């Protein structure tokens, strides 16, 4: 076991998970200057019309408010997907809302899109862009690719399509000008009614509206993707793929967390005591892998697939790429494996 693993198992597990996350993220930001000296690992990857420093990124949920993009890049991540950001600021669900299942190397969360809102995040991204221009550090190869993940504000009723589209449009207008790519999140289980938007008859007009909105506020086309749940039936996964081809969607992020608790080795009473929430980590691996295969088989070589869910080892990463993913993301394994994890995974999938 690594030194970080021992520290995590014997110290970090004694700290409330949400507090541990904030402390750990603060340490990442504090150590960014040292980490940056190591340089960017891996080989560049072309996807979404962009050049990614390497194949592995941070999944949405880790940096909700865009406060540590370049620090995460310094650890070796080739892209950082911030968010999920909603049109309006919201506190999220009551605490406790983040739980560990160490025996399964998994996490359950019911955060509920807690974030500072699109206006605050847009200001922060604009300030970052200004700093990078002043320091002459912007441009290809000088930092992680920036994805922005947007979701529905909780108080907006999912059955009111016009209100939903207006809510996502607000986030798009504010955030698309700062994003290298944009992701519409309709797959978190922690916002009531959100997953109903995955139905193609609701999803297609929403994505088309976001596309039109993004095009009105950007001079260059920003790639647009959708993030889907692993709990979709196979036929629904294929329907999303068909829709993506029909409307020219740039890609799909597969997959979000699951509401399933099947196959866990953790004590059933402990799992039941945690209650509702999205499960991430190793237990999601096989379904996320299968969804990736389904999507690539239907999409052909066209739209980009970002594979996420249960990727822990270089072998997991290679399997996801072989199944058809173009890019990878992690979150839960990063929590369990520590700050050297991204470099280990990237080294394990790099040629030679």
Q: What percent of the chain has pLDDT over 70?
A: 93
pLDDT score recorded for residue 137: 55
Task: Collapse the DSSP code of 251 into the 3-class scheme (helix H, G, I; strand E, B; otherwise coil) and give the result.
Answer: strand
pTM of the model: 0.94
Segment 237-272, tens digit of pLDDT: 999 999 999 999 999 999 999 999 999 999 999 999
162-193: per-residue pLDDT in tens?
999 999 999 999 999 999 999 999 988 878 88
> Is a pLDDT exceeding 50 seen at residue 6?
yes
User: Helix (H, G, I), strand (E, B), or coil: what is residue 301?
Assistant: coil
Lowest mean pLDDT among 39-43, 171-175, 321-325, 328-332: 39-43
CA distance 214 to 105: 38
Which residue from 186, 16, 182 is spatially nearest to 113, judged by alpha carbons? Answer: 186
Distance, in Å, from the CA atom of 335 to the CA atom of 137, rounded to the nearest integer, reads 29
- To the nearest whole percent, how much of the chain has pLDDT over 90? 79
What is the per-residue pLDDT across 17-69, written as a single tens digit (0 to 9) for each? Answer: 989 988 988 888 887 777 677 778 899 999 999 999 999 999 999 999 999 99
Annotated catalytic residues are 188
The reply, when asked if residue 114 is annotated as ligand binding, is no
Using the predicted structure, report yes or no on whether residue 122 has a pLDDT greater than 50.
Answer: yes
When mean pLDDT is compared across 62-66, 119-123, 199-203, the lowest value belongs to 199-203
Q: DSSP letter for 13, please.
A: G
Q: Please identify which residue in the block is written with the tokens 């295969």.
A: 293
> Does the annotation list 256 as a binding residue?
yes
Q: Is 62 annotated as a binding residue?
A: yes
To the question of whether residue 113 is assigned a binding role by annotation, the answer is yes
Q: Is 331 annotated as a binding residue?
A: yes
pLDDT for 351: 77
Question: Tell me, what's the pLDDT at 211?
Answer: 98
93 assigned ligand-binding residue: no
**Res. 11 pLDDT band, cuts 50 70 90:** low
| Domains of the chain, CATH where assigned | 3-349 (3.20.20.70)
239 annotated to bind ligand: no
Q: What does the pLDDT read at residue 202?
A: 92
Residue 212: predicted pLDDT: 98
What is the average per-residue pLDDT within 303-327? 98
CA 344 remoteness from chain centre: 20
Residue-by-residue DSSP string for 78-111: SEEEEEEEESS-B--SPSP-EEEEGGGTEEEE--
Has 310 been labeled as part of a binding site?
yes
Residue 227: is its pLDDT beyond 80?
Answer: yes
Mean pLDDT of the chain: 92
pLDDT in the model for residue 197: 87
Determine the pLDDT at residue 7: 58
State yes or no: 218 annotated in a binding site. Answer: no
Per-residue pLDDT band for 195 (boundaries 50, 70, 90) equals confident
Q: Is 99 annotated as a binding residue?
A: no
Using 50, 70 and 90 to split pLDDT, how confident is the model at 105?
Answer: very high
Q: How far is CA 280 from CA 157, 255, 258, 266, 328, in A?
A: 26, 10, 7, 14, 15
For 6, other C-beta atoms within 10 Å of its C-beta total: 10
Which residue has tokens 């999303």? 240
Radius of gyration of the chain (CA): 19
Paired residues of 81 in beta bridges: 147
pLDDT of residue 75: 95
Q: Nearest-5° angle of CA 111, CA 345, CA 291?
A: 60
- Whether 255 has a binding-site annotation, put simply, is yes
Asked whether residue 115 is marked as a ligand-binding residue, the answer is no
Residue 140 pLDDT level (bands cut at 50, 70, 90): very low
How confident is the model at residue 252, as a pLDDT? Answer: 98
89 is in an annotated binding site: no
pLDDT greater than 90 at residue 85: yes
């Amino acid at each position: 076991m690594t030194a970080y693993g021992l520290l995590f198992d014997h110290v970090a597990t004694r700290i409330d998970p949400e507090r541990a996350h904030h402390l750990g993220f603060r340490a990442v930001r504090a150590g960014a200057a040292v980490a940056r000296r190591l340089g960017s690992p891996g080989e560049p990857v072309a996807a979404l019309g962009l050049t990614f420093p390497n194949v592995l990124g941070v999944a949405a949920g880790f940096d909700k408010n865009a406060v540590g993009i370049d620090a995460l890049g310094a650890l070796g991540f080739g892209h950082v997907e911030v968010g999920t950001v909603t049109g309006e600021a919201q506190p999220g669900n009551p605490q406790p809302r983040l739980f560990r299942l160490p025996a399964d190397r998994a996490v359950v969360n019911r955060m509920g899109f807690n974030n500072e809102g699109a206006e605050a995040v847009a200001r922060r991204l604009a300030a970052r862009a200004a700093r990078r221009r002043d320091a002459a550090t912007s441009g290809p190869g000088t930092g992680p690719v920036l994805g922005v993940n947007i979701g529905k504000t909780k108080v907006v009723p999912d059955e009111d399509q016009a209100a939903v589209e207006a809510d996502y449009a607000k986030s798009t207008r504010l955030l698309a000008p700062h994003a290298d790519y944009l992701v519409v999140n309709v797959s978190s289980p922690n916002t009531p009614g959100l997953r109903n938007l995955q139905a193609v008859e609701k999803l297609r007009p929403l994505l088309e509206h976001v596309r039109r909105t993004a095009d009105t506020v950007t001079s260059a086309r920003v790639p647009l993707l959708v993030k889907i749940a692993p709990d979709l039936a196979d036929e629904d996964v294929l329907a999303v793929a068909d829709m993506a081809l029909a409307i020219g969607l740039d890609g799909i992020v597969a997959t979000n967390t699951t509401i399933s608790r099947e196959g866990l080795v953790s004590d059933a009473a402990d799992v039941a005591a945690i209650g509702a929430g999205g499960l991430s980590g190793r237990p999601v691996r096989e379904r996320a892998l299968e969804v990736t295969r389904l999507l690539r088989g239907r999409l052909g070589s066209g739209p980009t697939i970002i594979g996420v869910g249960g990727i822990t080892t270089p072998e997991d990463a290679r399997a996801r790429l072989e199944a058809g993913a173009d890019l990878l993301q992690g979150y839960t394994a990063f929590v369990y494996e520590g700050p050297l994890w991204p470099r280990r995974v990237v080294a394990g999938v790099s040629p030679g």
